[in-house]
């Protein structure tokens, strides 16, 4: 059984399609990397804020049996509670 080579009508067009798919792959990998980096930064930011809020809550907490029920944590101090900065300026 002999295999015949398949002739392309326009061989340059086939190369163009391969180049386009390579460019799409490269662009999608860049976008995926940016999304992963951004989601990691958001996760780290939320984690730091939760830890700091818990520390402040524990420091301001009243003893058990006291009538004061609600404890509010002031988040206005940017040194303790940094704002979300994804690109780290």
Q: What digits encode the pLDDT tens for the residues 24-49? A: 999 999 999 999 999 999 999 889 88
In contact, 41 and 86? CB cutoff 8 Å: yes
One DSSP character per residue, 60-78 reads HPPPTT-S----------T
Structural tokens at position 18: 């391969």
- Kindly report the average pLDDT of the chain as a whole number: 76
Structural tokens at position 80: 């303790």
Distance CA 57, CA 51 (A): 10
pLDDT above 90 coverage of the chain, percent: 22
């Amino acid at each position: 059984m002999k295999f015949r080579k398949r002739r392309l009508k326009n061989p340059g067009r086939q190369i163009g399609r391969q180049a386009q798919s390579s460019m799409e792959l490269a662009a999608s990998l860049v976008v995926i990397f940016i999304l992963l980096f951004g989601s990691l930064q958001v996760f780290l930011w939320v984690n730091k804020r939760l830890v700091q809020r818990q520390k402040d809550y524990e420091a301001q907490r009243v003893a058990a049996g006291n009538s004061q029920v609600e404890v509010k944590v002031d988040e206005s101090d940017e040194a303790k509670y940094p704002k979300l900065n994804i690109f780290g300026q």
